[in-house]
Amino acid sequence: MILCIPTEEVNFLNIFSIRQVIMARVFNNNSATDKTIRAIDRKREQERRFMLSQAFKNAEELSTRLVQRLIDRHIIETTSEQTMRDLFSDQLRNISNMEEFDIQFKIAPLRKLATDPNFISLYLTQFIIEDLVDHPKVQDIFGDDLDIYRAVDSVLSKIRPS
């Protein structure tokens, strides 16, 4: 694409402005690229909604498996497994009603923890690290962020679409 500037306007432009005009890139909207990006966004949103609905529907089962996995891997020591199941079940149900901003804000410190992370696993990992550590029924939490994420994701990967 050739950029034409009328000669009367050139007189008013200084050298710096001419350089900016010459170096400026012209981006053409490519409908095929836009269509592909929209398709990817739609697919991700569908996956997100599917995962949230599965987390809500299967909250009891997932929370039972999750608590057992965390105890088996010696990540959580607790005085009440039932309380832990109830807490995780509540979190799995409530996340489907949360605003996207609130979820992203909660998982922000862990976004780069894993490649292609499960956002629900990140959310529950952050819940364990920030909130559960101060719970009266929790004696101690062991492991680093990645260990906790892997344990949580090993259970929640079942609700992720293939």
pLDDT the model gives residue 53: 93
pLDDT the model gives residue 28: 54
Q: Write out the E strands in 30-95.
A: 76-78
Q: With respect to residue 21, please indicate whether it lies within any of the assigned structural domains.
A: no
pLDDT the model gives residue 30: 75
pLDDT average, residue stretch 19-44: 72
Q: With respect to residue 33, please indicate whether it lies within any of the assigned structural domains.
A: no
pLDDT the model gives residue 111: 87
Q: With respect to residue 28, please indicate whether it lies within any of the assigned structural domains.
A: no
Q: Residue 32 — very low, low, confident or very high, per pLDDT cuts 50/70/90?
A: confident
pLDDT the model gives residue 1: 47
Q: Write out pLDDT tens, residues 3-20.
A: 555 555 444 444 444 444
In terms of residue numbers, what domain contains 147? 41-159
Q: Write out pLDDT tens, residues 94-151.
A: 998 999 999 999 999 998 888 888 999 999 999 999 999 899 999 999 999 999 999 9
Q: With respect to residue 5, please indicate whether it lies within any of the assigned structural domains.
A: no
Q: With respect to residue 101, please indicate whether it lies within any of the assigned structural domains.
A: yes
Q: With respect to residue 150, please indicate whether it lies within any of the assigned structural domains.
A: yes
Cβ density class 130-148: b for 16+ within 10 Å, e for less: eebeebeebeebebebeeb
Closest residue by Cα to residue 120 from 161, 86, 71: 161
Q: With respect to residue 75, please indicate whether it lies within any of the assigned structural domains.
A: yes
Nearest-angstrom CA–CA distance, 147 and 39: 34
Could you give the number of structural domains in the chain?
Answer: 1
Q: With respect to residue 55, please indicate whether it lies within any of the assigned structural domains.
A: yes
Q: Write out pLDDT tens, residues 50-95.
A: 999 999 999 999 999 999 999 999 999 999 999 999 999 999 999 9
